[in-house]
A = this chain, B = another copy of it.
């Protein structure tokens, strides 16, 4: 037995504003069980209250309305739960990132940054297995992980690798926060490729190089230092920026990134 409620009563019981409730009706997220055809008055049922509570919590977590609807509409309960758990995990990652950002900001403002040591390097032309894609800024880390996994699978057990996991980033990728990225692994000999993977040749080039330890989101520090270094010495040139992802031999949990900024020529 479910009793009918006016939008005002429903608002009090759910702690959602009347404007929000009308909006959720407009977009079909939480339509009232009944609308008076003459007056347009909305009538909600008491058993819609728990649904509204769930929506409110998802909104507190900034889940987009569209996604909330997908979650609520999932026919299969298992499907629904999977979607929810995925979002919760995503949120928890977000929490960690936020905490890291707070820490990073504190460090930045305390000005405790030591000047970073830039070095020059000439890199020979190399052959590589690669995966090339249009990548969105926020999806980069996930894309890169999956692409490098795929490449590792292509290599299989064959011992042809002759360099670390790497990637090339186009200028557009930085300017528009969406653009071509190429994940690659340098190889000694040609091997058969399949799926997304292809064989490419990367031309020789000179770089200013800086090693970065820490989170991806902190890489702007290295980029700022490198760009400044190169600009001050008028070494700038065109070409994609290259990153090498290195793992310590002693401790495989310790990883770092080498950022390689293309320059005219090593002075």
Contacts and interface: CB of A to CB of B under 8 A. Distances in A.
A91 B236 CA distance: 39
Contacts of A223: 12-15
Q: Which 5 A-B pairs have the closest CB atoms?
A: A13-B227, A15-B220, A49-B224, A12-B174, A3-B231
A9 B14 CA distance: 50
Contacts of A109: 54, 81, 84
A219 interface: yes
A9 B219 contact: no
A255 interface: no
A241 interface: yes
A95 to B, nearest CB: 6
Interface residues of A, number: 60
B105 A54 contact: yes
Interface string A20-58: 000000000000000000000000001001101110111
Most buried by B among A52, A174, A219: A174
A3 B228 CA distance: 8
Stoichiometry (number of copies)? 2
Contacts of A176: 17-19
Most buried by B among A3, A60, A105, A106: A105
A217 interface: yes
A236 B217 CA distance: 54
User: Most chain-B CB neighbours within 10 Å: which of A92, A98, A108?
Assistant: A98
A91 B102 contact: yes
- Interface-centre pick from A3, A14, A58, A92 (highest chain B CB count, 10 A): A3
Contacts of A123: none
A95 B101 contact: no
22 contacts: A1-B232, A5-B227, A11-B175, A12-B223, A14-B220, A15-B219, A17-B137, A18-B176, A46-B227, A46-B231, A49-B224, A49-B227, A50-B108, A53-B220, A53-B221, A54-B108, A60-B97, A84-B109, A88-B106, A91-B98, A91-B102, A95-B98
